[in-house]
């Protein structure tokens, strides 16, 4: 027999269903949304879900997410104007600990002694006190805020050495995750060299197993649990390894085989589904298609270009579907489970998602017919399988017991869900797990692909420790060993416009020499008419670096958001000059004595579709548009902090990040 409260709830919900069907659908779907995002939310637990705080080793480094307090803050949008689903914490008693890693004084002294000998032998540089704190940390869940030029790569290598050689963690139970195959190769080389000094058996083959990208680590697990899938992303890629996957953030445009499969799915969906045809014509602004059942044959699907609001280019609809699907899945949403009534957007955006759902069903059938799987699909399948509660072999999960993850600020909700499933499964099976996350929210620049620094800033929400506090250990590497102080301060100046960020400050280790300077802003620069002037300036900087007593190994980096200016510059440069040209995204992690930036870091236009999806996902406190505005300023910070002793920025007009610099009197 129902209680009075339950009867009352039933009466209210029935009335809502009759009078307010959209509201009713929203309420009824709430539990489904929670369970999809946090599979353990339906499991009863005796523990309480506390609100984790932040803990920092030094009191002066206590860093909490802060909003701007300057005058610009009053005009910047802080949250979306429409209601959004609040991100929820996973239920249960946490994942990590409460026991700490077994670190004793004897192990610490042995590590310090061996590091001292390695320094004397010229194998490594002596760690600072803040770097030692990271190397020797005993918490099973640790977050490291590592600023630009803080020496995090070398410190990460020594942390691995400590775990393998002094804590006796088997290498087959430890995985280091880096951002790209290129950065993985550098880490492997360092590990083999340094571990050789410790006389630890760690050859290149073992290093390849230990150091991976997220996608490579996923592929190794998929080989065991998903039946050795073949990847859609590797179609027409000669010599591609099914397990040595690079981060698709660096991928180029779709290849012919991929486009062919997408186009075939699009054509088939158009031919078979009347509703899809109607939506396609509405999205492309075409006359309505003929009704199904008429004698007129169904025409071929239109290949007109479609430009969504907020996107940079026009593309055929099947390409637009694929691009937005990648974003949707990366922010933790299942395309087939999107409830259109929950999307806070207008009809064009809702029509796009409805059409995408129909297309995606056809595309998935095409993939299955050819034995293919997408990277995102594999992450989803693995997460679902791990959360299903079934026993997974120890051999398959063993490499993920101890994880050290670099560039954590560029993690996406989908990766968060996968990591939770991995370590949650291992913890349930009684295995000891640990996670060290290293990153810098100031250098998060891949939000357009679904990543967000908020996930790093809210680390304890997603990766809770066991016990009352449910807190991870938080450390800060605040010394910058790369750039002089004027460069650091100018980089921090552009971050003043970021709405949500971690409060911290970098300390310069390198002294400023005569002739060194921060950003010099050159305005009214048009690359079409003043390219010869820029080429002469680059040559002058090369000559300057050649005369320095101890210059950086890279003389000049030329940076831009876009490839077009870089190609124009490279076409006019003497190839013998020590100059490298990169987009700012590809230059992340690099440095040069002089950085030359050619471009503006302007916010992109508003993207109503992604704003609605951002709110729907429930992971973010920011709106998508505000997140992109912040990201463009962080991109400027990354560009500036590539420079060691000089930075020049050429721009047509001071706007965006360059406006903040111009206000500091940097323009000339």
Contact 632, 601 (CB under 8 A): yes
Q: Which one, of 581, 565, 582, lies nearest residue 528 by Cα?
A: 565
Pairing of strands 500-502, 65-67: antiparallel
Exposed/middle/buried for 227, CB within 10 Å: 0-12, 13-18, 19+? exposed
Residue tagged 């280091």 (tokens): 176
* Cα separations in angstroms, 384 against 90, 231, 390, 399: 15, 19, 10, 19
Question: 174 phi and psi, to 5 degrees?
Answer: -135, 135
Annotated binding-site residue? 257 = no
Give the dihedral sign, CA 495/497/501/502: positive
Q: Where are the beta strands (DSSP E) in 543-589?
A: 556-560, 579-583
Contact 635, 498 (CB under 8 A): no
Annotated binding-site residue? 580 = no
The Cα 61–Cα 502 span in angstroms is 11
Exposed/middle/buried for 1, CB within 10 Å: 0-12, 13-18, 19+? exposed
Strand partners, 145: 439, 476
Q: Which helix (H) or strand (E) holds 519?
A: strand 519-522
Exposed/middle/buried for 86, CB within 10 Å: 0-12, 13-18, 19+? exposed
Question: 469 phi and psi, to 5 degrees?
Answer: -75, -30
Question: 234 phi and psi, to 5 degrees?
Answer: -105, 5
Annotated binding-site residue? 151 = yes
Annotated binding-site residue? 146 = yes
Strand partners, 177: 212, 405
Q: Which one, of 279, 380, 282, lies nearest residue 336 by Cα?
A: 380
Q: How many helices (H) and strands (E) does the chain have?
A: 24, 19
- In three state form, how does the secondary structure of 14-25 look? HHHHHHCHHHHH
The Cα 132–Cα 221 span in angstroms is 33
Which of the 8 DSSP states describes residue 163? I
The Cα 381–Cα 369 span in angstroms is 17
Annotated binding-site residue? 152 = yes
Binding residues for ATP: 146-153
Residue numbers in the known binding site are: 146-153
């Amino acid at each position: 027999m129902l209680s009075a409260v339950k009867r009352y709830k039933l009466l209210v919900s029935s009335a809502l269903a009759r009078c307010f069907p959209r509201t009713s659908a929203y309420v009824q779907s709430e539990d489904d949304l929670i369970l999809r995002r946090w599979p353990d939310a339906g499991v009863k637990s005796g523990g309480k879900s506390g609100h984790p705080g932040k803990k920092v080793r030094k009191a002066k480094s206590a860093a909490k997410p802060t909003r701007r307090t300057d005058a610009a803050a009053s005009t910047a949008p802080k949250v979306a104007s429409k209601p959004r689903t609040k991100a929820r914490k996973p239920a249960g008693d946490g994942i990590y600990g409460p026991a700490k890693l077994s670190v004793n004084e004897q192990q610490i002294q042995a590590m310090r002694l061996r590091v001292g000998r390695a320094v004397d032998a010229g194998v490594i540089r002596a760690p600072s006190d803040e770097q030692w704190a990271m190397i020797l940390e005993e918490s099973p869940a640790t977050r490291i805020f590592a600023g630009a030029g803080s020496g995090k790569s070398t410190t990460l290598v020594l942390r691995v050495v400590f775990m393998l050689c002094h804590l006796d963690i088997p290498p087959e139970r430890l995985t280091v995750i880096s951002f790209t195959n290129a950065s993985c190769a550098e880490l492997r080389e360092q590990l083999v060299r340094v571990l050789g000094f410790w006389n630890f058996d760690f050859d290149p083959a073992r290093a390849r197993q230990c150091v991976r990208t997220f996608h490579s680590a996923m592929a190794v697990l998929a080989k065991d649990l998903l039946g050795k899938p073949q990847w859609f992303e590797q179609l027409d890629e000669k010599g591609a390894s099914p397990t040595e996957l690079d981060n698709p953030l660096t991928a180029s445009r779709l290849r012919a085989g991929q486009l062919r499969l997408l186009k075939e799915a699009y054509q088939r969906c158009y031919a078979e589904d009347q509703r899809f045809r109607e939506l396609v014509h509405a999205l492309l602004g075409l006359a309505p298609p003929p009704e199904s059942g008429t004698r007129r044959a169904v025409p071929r699907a239109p290949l007109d270009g479609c430009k969504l609001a907020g996107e940079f280019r026009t593309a055929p609809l099947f390409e637009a579907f694929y691009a937005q699907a990648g974003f949707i899945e990366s922010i933790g949403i299942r395309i087939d489970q999107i409830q259109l009534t929950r999307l806070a957007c207008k009809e064009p955006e809702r029509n796009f998602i409805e059409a995408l759902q129909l297309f995606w069903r056809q595309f998935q059938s095409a993939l299955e017919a050819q034995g293919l799987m997408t990277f995102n699909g594999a992450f989803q399948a693995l997460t679902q399988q791990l959360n299903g509660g079934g026993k997974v072999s120890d051999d398959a999960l063993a490499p993920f017991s101890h994880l050290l993850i670099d560039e954590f600020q560029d993690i996406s909700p989908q990766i968060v869900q996968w990591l939770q499933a991995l370590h949650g499964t291992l913890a349930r099976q009684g295995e000891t797990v640990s996670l060290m996350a290293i990153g810098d929210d100031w250098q998060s620049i891949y939000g357009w692909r679904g990543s967000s620094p908020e996930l790093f800033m809210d680390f304890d929400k997603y990766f809770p420790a066991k016990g009352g506090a449910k807190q991870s250990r938080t450390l800060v590497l605040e010394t910058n060993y790369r750039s002089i102080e004027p460069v650091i301060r100018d980089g921090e100046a552009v971050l003043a416009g970021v709405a949500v960020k971690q409060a911290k400050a970098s300390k310069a280790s390198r002294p400023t020499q005569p002739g060194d300077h921060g950003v010099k802003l050159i305005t009214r620069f048009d690359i079409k008419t003043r390219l010869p002037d820029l080429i002469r300036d680059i040559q002058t900087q090369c000559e300057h670096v050649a005369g320095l007593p101890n210059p950086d190994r890279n003389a000049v980096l030329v940076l831009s958001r876009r490839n077009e200016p870089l190609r124009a510059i490279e076409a006019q440069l003497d190839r013998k000059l020590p100059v490298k040209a990169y987009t700012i995204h590809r230059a992340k992690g690099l440095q040069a004595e002089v950085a030359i930036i050619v471009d503006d870091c302007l916010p992109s236009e508003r993207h109503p579709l992604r704003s609605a999806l951002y709110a729907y996902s429930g992971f973010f406190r920011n709106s998508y548009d505000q997140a992109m505005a912040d990201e463009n300023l962080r991109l400027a910070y990354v560009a500036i902090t590539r420079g060691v002793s000089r930075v020049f920025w050429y721009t047509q007009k001071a706007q965006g990040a360059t406006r903040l610099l111009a206000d500091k009197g940097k323009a000339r």
